Chains A and B, each alone.
Chain A
Amino acid sequence: MSPETPPAALHCGAPAAAPTSPRRAVTPREDLARGFWRENPVLIQLLGLCPTLAVTNTVANSIVMALATFGVLVGSSLLVSTFKRWIPNEVRITSYILIIATFVTIAEMVLQALVPDIYKALGPFVALIVVNCIILGRQEAFAGRNPVGRSVLDAVGMGIGFTIALLIMGSVREVLGSGTFLGVSLFGPRYEPWVVMILPPGGFFTLAFVLLAIAWWTQRKAVRAKAAEPRALAAAERAA
């Protein structure tokens, strides 16, 4: 995890620590790329777990859910950062929720018109985007206190990060649980699908193994960096 974001600051609605402080100029690329991996909203910040567990039983559902959340997040961040000057501090959360809820309702109608089958499959989880912590969290931690351009970049980055996480979950679960990818059969008719993977427990199993893999990878990186430290020091001393 990055030193800029102590774990304590990672719960919903809490202000993110360093990225907003003006100590060091942040490049637009950093604003954008932060959400992909290093501060991935699902895999690192562990936000938005409800849709991550609930609607990732097929890749198509995951994609539509991710796109809907992406649209709501970017739209909300744009409006919140544009109007933050006129939103009194006392009612800012209410205003954020109002803006988010408007976008979610629009997203709901658009999905119902464009992809009615998937809209049906997503059930109540489209409406529940309103209470997705990733969205409210980004408004409170970022869009409410940063310029429009940076806020939109941040929202796009976080939205892509959410999409990445949902795609990982959806791919694993659909491939194992149905033997298909986007509805295309992968292993032929003799494959006996692990039905449990598309049921709720499968969501927990998949998330656990994904998080385990990330923790293992992060730890390995840290250990290697530590092992490299004395060697680098010694080399510097020798050079001096």
Chain B
Amino acid sequence: MNHSHGSQTGGVAAPSAPAEVKPQRLLATLGLAGALAGVLLVIAYGVTLPTIEANRQRELEAAINVVLKGPERYEALYVVNGALTAKAPDGVDPRKLERVYLGYGAGGRRIGFALVAAEPGFQDTVKLIFGYDPGTKQLIGMTVLESKETPGLGDKIEKDAAFVGQFREARAPLVAVKKGKRSKPGDVETITGATISSKTVIRIINNALERLGPLVDAYPQEGKG
């Protein structure tokens, strides 16, 4: 692309100015245009932000609903200094803290925790959320929040019902096995043609449980703590 081309051959864009333009004018033009663009962007940001955040919230709620099998209600817990706490410490923006979600069923019975985790996949970072019951050490469900895995192959980690279904009641830690070789409650069959993506999901869950599992186990039951 040769952009000076136009001015050399045609120069039609500025019909009246063969004379040199003062640098101040160039600066003023660009400065003014930049300022106007900034104002426009701020307005657009302000207008769209509430909708964007509402979308994210709805997405997260839908995901929690799936991985905890429709809890009655859930609460967000913050990860602070290697422990879970229901209240963010003073002076810390709660939006910047890592969160896990604790779901309750009918009668205030604890269903389990929903954990969000992300790690590099085949193409880009895969971010997922899964439900985990510390009592039985079983997963409740898994759903992928963000991934750019290959369409038609790697994206089966979110679209293939058989693969996603295996995480229901799978016992942690998970083990990747080839198709048809599932024998133990922690085995997860990888998808043919998407081994790396499948193993990514398993690795993310295992690592997240290794990191957050002790915290979840240590979180006091109601009435005891």
Residues of chain A having any CB pair with chain B under 8 Å: 11-15, 20, 57, 84, 86-95, 98-99, 101-102, 105-106, 109-110, 112-114, 116, 120, 123, 133, 140, 144-145, 177-178, 193, 195, 198-199
Contact yes or no, B13 A193, CB < 8 A? no
CA gap between A195 and B14 in the complex, in Å: 51
Contact yes or no, B13 A92, CB < 8 A? yes
B25 within 8 A of A: yes
CA gap between A131 and B69 in the complex, in Å: 45
CA gap between A14 and B10 in the complex, in Å: 10
Contact yes or no, B44 A14, CB < 8 A? no
Contacts of B13 in A (CB 8 A): 84, 87, 89, 92, 144-145
- Between-chain CB contacts (< 8 Å), 10 pairs: A13-B1, A88-B17, A88-B29, A89-B17, A91-B29, A92-B14, A133-B1, A140-B6, A145-B12, A198-B151
CA gap between A102 and B45 in the complex, in Å: 12
CA gap between A106 and B26 in the complex, in Å: 25
Q: Which of B33-41, B85-93, B99-107, B180-188 contacts A (4 or more CB under 8 A)?
A: B33-41
Contact yes or no, A106 B6, CB < 8 A? no
Partner of A20, one of B12, B25, B51, B152: B12
Partner of A88, one of B26, B34, B48, B146: B26
Contact yes or no, B9 A88, CB < 8 A? no
Take A12-B1, A99-B33, A112-B52 as given contacts and tell me if A199 and B150 are in contact as well, using a CB distance cutoff of 8 Å: yes
- Chain B contacts with A in 7-55, Cβ cutoff 8 A: 7, 9-14, 17, 21, 25-26, 29-30, 33-34, 37, 40-41, 44-45, 48-49, 51-52, 55
Residues of chain B having any CB pair with chain A under 8 Å: 1-3, 5-7, 9-14, 17, 21, 25-26, 29-30, 33-34, 37, 40-41, 44-45, 48-49, 51-52, 55-56, 59, 146, 148, 150-153
Partner of B152, one of A109, A110, A199: A199
Take A98-B30, A105-B44, A199-B150 as given contacts and tell me if A13 and B2 are in contact as well, using a CB distance cutoff of 8 Å: yes
Contact yes or no, B14 A88, CB < 8 A? yes
CA gap between A88 and B29 in the complex, in Å: 8
Partner of A106, one of B11, B33, B40: B40
